[in-house]
Amino acid sequence: MTSSAATPPPESRTSRRKQILSFLGFGAIAVIGVLIVLYAWKLPPFSSPIESTDNAQVRGLVTIISPQLSGYVAEVHVQDFQRVHAGELLVKIDDRIYQQRADQARAQLETQKAALSNSIQQRNKAEAAIRQAQATLANARAQALKADADLRRVEDLVADGSLSLRERDQTRAAHAAAQAAVAQGNAALETARQDLRSVVVNRDSLEAAVSSAQAALRLAEIDLSNTRILAPRDGKLGQVTVRQGAYVNAGTQLTALVPDRLWVVANMKETQMAHVRLGQPATFRVDALNGAELKGHVERISPATGSEFAVLPPDNATGNFVKIAQRIPVRISIDPDQPLMERLSPGMSVEVSIDTSAPGQAAPAAQEQKP
């Protein structure tokens, strides 16, 4: 009786065993769930050196093609999504008015050049007039010296009674006329010199007028050349929104040019940037290509978060501040010679992964600036 009372019944042992197994099973499920969460969120011990984000897009140097002047569209030489080469004619604006302005400016330049050439002749004439005035003055001075000598002889002869007073008065008059001729010659020489100075000054004005006419001609020629809208570089066009005969104003968007050079901008969380370095390899999957994977390298890192470049930057000095992980743009160059590169277009969404375990070059630190 005593031994049978100390031994628990078989039903009790089976129930306890089930409870232990249930507890162990629940614990195992809980551990597995925690491990799955840690793995999904890349937390220790499952942290990975690969930093990924789906906040990324393909970018390119998209150029908006616009005219620099107003006018009617005379010719449209391209179509939507056409590939063009640098210097290829895209659109031509009616150039008749601008051609006439260029011709008018060219005629004005020829007029100013003719006036400048005439100035050279006027200068030669003024220099000849100076030489003539100098010769006239020299002759007047010679006549004045002769009149001086005649007057001295006449004065001596009148003193001893050899000549009459009438002859002396005539000699004095001739002497005065000779002196007046010298004064007139000096005045004529000074007038000729002033005429030469006037011609020289006028020539400077004419040279400035020629330069102004040349500048006006260049401006007219620039306007005339701007009637031909050319492709600035190789690439593909977007939609061509202009039509022949339409009137366009300066700055009107005609089309857009997408060049062949593309890159990827990945907006990484600031918590992912601890080990991101320049030159590290990166891969990105393109949504538009069924998740096809392409390769690249970290080329540049933004010097500030995206919010710092916003038109209205956030003001965190408020009582309702909530900490949010900021985004730092990272530019990734696309490795060449990849088969699917030609199918990339700016604006495509991609998922970027950066291998931070690879060695790279640290971004240059900002130099300390003195206030």
DSSP calls for 287-329: GGGTTEEEEEEEEEE-SS-GGGGSSS-----STT------EEE
User: When comparing pLDDT for 17 and 93, which is higher?
Assistant: 93
Residue 219: what pLDDT?
95
Instruction: For residues 249 and 106, give the distance between their C-alpha atoms in angstroms, rounded to a whole number.
Output: 26
CA–CA separation, 319 and 324 (whole Å): 15
Does the pLDDT of residue 364 top 60, yes or no? no
Residue 181 confidence (pLDDT): 79
- Whether the per-residue pLDDT at 83 is higher than 70: the answer is yes
More confident residue, 339 or 179: 339
> In sequence order, what DSSP letters do the residues of 208-229 get, joined into one string?
HHHHHHHHHHHHHHHHHHTTEE
Q: How confident is the model at residue 334 (pLDDT cuts 50, 70, 90)?
A: very high
Q: Which residues pair with 65 in a beta bridge?
A: 255
Look at residue 370 and tell me whether its pLDDT is greater than 50.
no
Token pair of 45 as six digits: 């011990």
Q: Give the lowest-confidence range in 34-48, 70-84, 103-117, 271-285.
A: 34-48
Whether residue 368 has pLDDT greater than 50: no
Query: Do residues 265 and 344 touch, judged by C-beta distance below 8 A?
Result: no
Least confident span in 4-18, 28-42, 194-208: 4-18
Q: 369: pLDDT confidence band, cut at 50, 70 and 90? A: very low
In contact, 227 and 24? CB cutoff 8 Å: no
pLDDT digits (tens, 9 = 90+) for 272-282: 888 899 999 99
Q: Per-residue pLDDT averaged across 22-44, rounded? A: 76
Percent of the chain whose predicted confidence (pLDDT) is above 70 = 85
- Exposed e or buried b for every residue in 135-155, given b needs 16+ CB within 10 A? ebbeebbebbeebeebbeebe
pLDDT band at 43 (very low <50, low <70, confident <90, very high): low
Which segments within 216-362 are labelled E, that is strand?
228-230, 235-237, 247-248, 255-258, 262-269, 281-286, 292-301, 327-334, 349-355
> Which domains does the chain carry?
46-60+261-362 (2.40.30.170), 63-93+227-256 (2.40.50.100), 97-225 (1.10.287.620)
pLDDT score recorded for residue 7 = 60
Place of tokens 């096809």: 292
Residue type, 133: A
Which neighbouring-strand residues pair with 332? 264, 298
pLDDT above 70 (res 4): no
> What rounded mean pLDDT belongs to the chain?
82
Q: Tell me which amino acid residue 289 is.
A: L
Neighbours of 186 (CB within 10 A): 15
Higher pLDDT residue, 14 or 268? 268
Six token digits for residue 164: 């009459």
Checking if the pLDDT of 166 tops 90, the result is: no
